[in-house]
Structure 1
């Protein structure tokens, strides 16, 4: 299953965006308002739960300075990745695109597609909070 949300233009350069996002504790700032739990487990891993959803543990899997960050499920039970692509559009602006990739059976995909899309859209919208 592949999901992408519209790219978000930011008044921050790609280096600022990248540096903010590789510090995983900053993802709490980007989370939806209906977050029930957010916990940093180590320098590369965090756990969160949204209302009515199971806990999800994400781990920083790949870092490509100033261009790309890949977060993945810490568990192999539901393998997926959340990729952040950062594109410099000018000296002080960048564009951030989020994409989700996961292998799920048809029933599971049908159940999670909408909540995951909504979650990603909220993360993208909240990118304006990057300090």
Structure 2
């Protein structure tokens, strides 16, 4: 299953956005209002829970300075990645695209597609004000 947010313009440099995203604790600032829990486990890992949803643990899987950062599920039970691509538009403007990639059976994909799409849109929308 692949979900991608529309590209969002952010009035910050590519480097500022990348450095914000690579500091794991900053993801709390991007979370939806209905967040129930957020905890940094180490420099590369955090867990969070939204009201009515199970806890999710995300770990930094890869990063390419100023352009790309990939978080992945810490558990192999539900394998997925969340990727942020940052493209410079100039000294003080960049574009950010978030994408979700996961392998789920048809029933699971049908159940989680809408909540994940909403979650990704919220992360994207909060980026402009959180950084």
Same fold (TM over 0.5): yes
Question: Residues 30-81 of structure 1, C-alpha deviation per residue, up to 9 Å, x if partnerless?
Answer: 0000000000000000000001110000000001000000000000010000
Number of matched pairs: 131
**Structure 2 match to 1:116:** 116
**Structure 1 match to 2:15:** 15
Partner Cα separation in structure 2 for residue 52 and residue 129 of structure 1: 26
Q: Normalization by structure 1: what TM-score? A: 0.98
Q: Normalization by structure 2: what TM-score? A: 0.98
Partner Cα separation in structure 1 for residue 98 and residue 128 of structure 2: 14
Q: Counterparts in 2 of 1:82-97, with a 5 A limit? A: 82-97=82-97
Partner Cα separation in structure 2 for residue 22 and residue 31 of structure 1: 15
Partner Cα separation in structure 2 for residue 130 and residue 13 of structure 1: 14
**Which stretches in structure 2 are left out of the alignment for 5+ residues?**
none
Partner Cα separation in structure 2 for residue 85 and residue 93 of structure 1: 14
Partner Cα separation in structure 2 for residue 111 and residue 55 of structure 1: 16
**Structure 2 match to 1:2:** 2
**Which stretches in structure 1 are left out of the alignment for 5+ residues?**
none
Partner Cα separation in structure 2 for residue 130 and residue 68 of structure 1: 18
- Contact 1:20-1:130 within 8 A present in 2 as well: no
Q: Which runs of 4+ in 1 moved over 3 A?
A: none
Q: Counterparts in 2 of 1:58-77, with a 5 A limit? A: 58-77=58-77
